[in-house]
């Protein structure tokens, strides 16, 4: 059974991709001896050793390729929210064969600067608009071409995927989105006006646009994960469903389960 799209074959070819961190490099020797690995270009599945940041780096690299291969992350980093436990009783091949698939659609950000230049970047976690100076940012919010908020004043705003809803979005008091919900979280960052607005949950099909009000006086930067564009005048965000990625998780250790656990912490 061959690799097709994001599907995992019954006997997949595996590639080992290791972070440069000392912890990942130290732990990689055991994994290197445990399987007959192939190169990433030949592989059906990428086994990624490191932390969440390194996995996001690998996923971003795949977005530029014609085929997006499933990734099975193993936590040899710090938090490891997107990763699997480094230790297991089964072989790596068996763990992947039994893994659950989680589809992830990144966001596509198109930002136009005050100087007229246009930049396009993908975000797996979130797109954030942030004030660049002490001046409060003022934004107009449009959804599907219709103005939904004439003026939002505050430190900024973000739009998060379900995967990203537990990252910056959660820190900004945004909602946690279940995986597979095909939704996006729109969350204000320290809003001043309207003070009581908590944000919105939008369908994945929504076309979101922010226009910066008084951009020269109140400059705003747009950030798609780690890619920053400064002094923007407008930003458009949509779900890039044509670039759907796949994460693999051990049974009982799924990202869905960790999202449930995050919501019931006391």
67 has binding-site annotation: no
Q: Is 125 annotated as a binding residue?
A: yes
Is 170 assigned to a binding site? Answer: yes
Nearest to 235 by CA among 106, 127, 105, 123: 127
* Distance, CA of 15 to CA of 31 (rounded, Å): 11
Q: What is the C-alpha to C-alpha distance for residues 14 and 42, in angstroms, rounded to an integer? A: 8
Is residue 168 a known part of a binding site?
yes
Instruction: Say if residues 184 and 163 touch (Cβ distance below 8 Å).
Output: no
Q: Please count the other Cβ atoms lying within 10 Å of the Cβ belonging to residue 166.
A: 21
CB 247 within 8 A of CB 102: yes
- Is residue 29 annotated as part of the catalytic site, yes or no? no
Is 53 among the annotated ligand-binding positions? yes
Q: 163 among the known binding-site residues?
A: yes
Residue 155 assigned to a binding site:
yes
CA dist 38 and 45 (Å) reads 10
Q: Name the active-site residue from 36, 44, 52, 110.
A: 52
Among 79, 1, 27, 81, smallest CA distance to 247 is for 81
Query: How far, in whole angstroms, is CA 229 from its chain's centroid?
Result: 18
87 belongs to an annotated ligand binding site: no
> Rounded CA gap, 166 and 164, in Å?
5
Query: 179: annotated binding-site residue?
Result: no
72 belongs to an annotated ligand binding site: no
Q: How far is CA 24 from the centre of its chain?
A: 22
Task: Determine the Cα angle at 38 with ends 33 and 41, to 5°.
Answer: 150
Q: What does the buried/exposed string (b/e) look like for 114-138 if buried means 16 or more CB atoms within 10 Å of the residue's CB?
A: eeeeebebbbbbbbbbbbeeeebbb
Residue positions in the annotated binding site? 52-53, 57, 125-126, 155, 163, 166-171
Residues designated as active site: 52
Residue positions in the annotated binding site for NAD(+)? 52-53, 57, 125-126, 155, 163, 166-171
């Amino acid at each position: 059974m061959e690799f097709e799209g994001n599907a995992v074959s019954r006997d997949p070819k595996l590639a080992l991709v290791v972070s440069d961190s000392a912890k990942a490099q130290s732990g990689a020797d055991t994994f290197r001896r445990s399987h007959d690995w192939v190169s990433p270009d030949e592989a059906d599945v990428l086994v990624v050793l490191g932390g969440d940041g390194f996995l996001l780096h690998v996923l971003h690299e795949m977005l530029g390729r014609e085929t997006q291969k499933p990734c099975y992350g193993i936590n040899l980093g710090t938090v490891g929210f997107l990763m699997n436990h480094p230790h297991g009783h089964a072989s790596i091949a068996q763990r992947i064969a039994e893994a659950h698939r989680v589809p992830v659609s990144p966001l596509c950000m198109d930002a136009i600067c005050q100087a007229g230049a246009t930049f396009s970047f993908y975000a797996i976690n979130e797109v954030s608009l942030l004030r660049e100076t002490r001046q409060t940012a003022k934004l107009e919010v449009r959804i599907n071409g219709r103005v939904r908020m004439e003026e939002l004043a505050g430190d900024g705003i973000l739009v998060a995927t379900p995967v990203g809803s537990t990252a910056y979005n959660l820190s900004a008091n945004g909602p946690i989105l279940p995986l597979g919900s095909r939704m996006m979280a729109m969350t204000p960052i320290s809003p001043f006006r309207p003070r009581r607005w908590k944000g919105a949950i939008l369908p994945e099909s929504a076309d979101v646009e922010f226009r910066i009000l008084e951009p020269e006086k109140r400059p705003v930067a747009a950030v798609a994960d780690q890619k920053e564009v400064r002094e923007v005048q407008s930003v458009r965000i949509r779900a890039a469903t044509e670039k759907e990625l796949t994460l693999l998780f051990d049974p009982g250790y799924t990202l869905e389960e960790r999202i449930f656990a995050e919501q019931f912490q006391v």
